[in-house]
Amino acid sequence: MAGYAVGLTGGIASGKSAVAGRFAALGITVVDADLVAREVVAPGTEGLAALVEAFGQDILDPTGALDRRRMRERVFADDAARARLEAILHPRIRRLLRTHAGEAPGAYVVVAIPLLAEGGGRTAYPWLDRVLVVDVPEATQLARLAARDRIDAALARRMLDAQATRAQRLAIADDVVVNAGGVEELDRLVAALDRRYRQLAEAKASPAA
């Protein structure tokens, strides 16, 4: 079981998935918060039952699964509803992330948490040994977002402004990957971090007497 956990985060369109994929290619387990968020509300789960109790049966689709679009519509522009949703989901997501991280094989595990800075940072995830932030210049981020989602600059700007600032993310970082270069540069940076994390994991597992 992995005894060392690295939290991976970054702003929208920063390249978190590209970095996570490179760790996975090196044999490192990546636990993805987005996938865990779906897991905690799968049909038959206690999380989905709690949502139905809070918001009603109309948040379910005909198969009994969560209708995500309808759920988003319920909490959009309703701060109280969104807070209720987060109070139900976030503790469950954090617990399951920790469980999966603890079960991961290998020297260390990468835990991909897109909204780590927004969700309380290290305070909410005290079991993370280290935080890696994928960073890009804001202009690059906006251009990538507009191209990826085929949206105009104004909407890209609003989406960026809805997240934590670049400074807020960097403030919680132990390590930073500046993802503004090419593929080979990103490969080199991740390989160097992999070597470093293996050393740190080994040191944690075998502390000096």
Give the pLDDT confidence of 173-191 residue by residue, as tens digits: 999 999 988 899 999 999 9
Structure tokens at 113: 């948490």
Contacts of range 135-139, beta carbons closer than 8 Å, 24 or more positions apart: 135/10, 135/11, 135/14, 135/166, 135/169, 135/170, 135/173, 135/176, 135/177, 135/178, 135/179, 136/10, 136/11, 136/13, 136/14, 136/15, 136/178, 136/179, 136/180, 137/180, 138/166
Give the pLDDT confidence of 138-153 residue by residue, as tens digits: 899 899 888 998 988 8
Domains in the chain: ranges and CATH: 1-28+106-201 (3.40.50.300), 38-105 (no CATH)
The DSSP call for residue 26 is T
> What would the mean pLDDT of 50-71 be, rounded to a whole number?
95
- At 209, is the pLDDT very low, low, confident or very high (cuts 50, 70, 90)? very low
Give the pLDDT confidence of 3-22 residue by residue, as tens digits: 899 999 999 999 999 999 99
Return d(Cα 105, Cα 127) in angstroms, integer: 17
* Nearest partner of 4 among 114, 120, 111, judged by Cα: 111
Give the pLDDT confidence of 17-36 residue by residue, as tens digits: 999 999 999 999 999 999 99
> What would the mean pLDDT of 119-131 be, rounded to a whole number?
93
- Examine the pLDDT at 104 and tell me if it is beyond 80: yes
The DSSP call for residue 13 is T
- Examine the pLDDT at 208 and tell me if it is beyond 70: no
Kindly report the average pLDDT of the chain as a whole number: 93
> What would the mean pLDDT of 186-208 be, rounded to a whole number?
93
What pLDDT sits at residue 76?
77
Cβ–Cβ under 8 Å, residues 106 and 29: yes
> What would the mean pLDDT of 121-145 be, rounded to a whole number?
93
Residue count (the chain): 209
Structure tokens at 176: 């930073």
Residue 204's identity, in one-letter code, is: K
Percent of the chain with pLDDT over 90: 74
* Nearest partner of 5 among 149, 104, 88, 77, judged by Cα: 104
What pLDDT sits at residue 169?
94
- At 159, is the pLDDT very low, low, confident or very high (cuts 50, 70, 90)? confident
- Examine the pLDDT at 73 and tell me if it is beyond 60: yes
Cα torsion at 118, 121, 127, 130 (round to 10°)?
120
> What would the mean pLDDT of 71-76 be, rounded to a whole number?
86
How wide is the angle at C-alpha 173 spanned by C-alphas 171 and 183, nearest 5°?
125
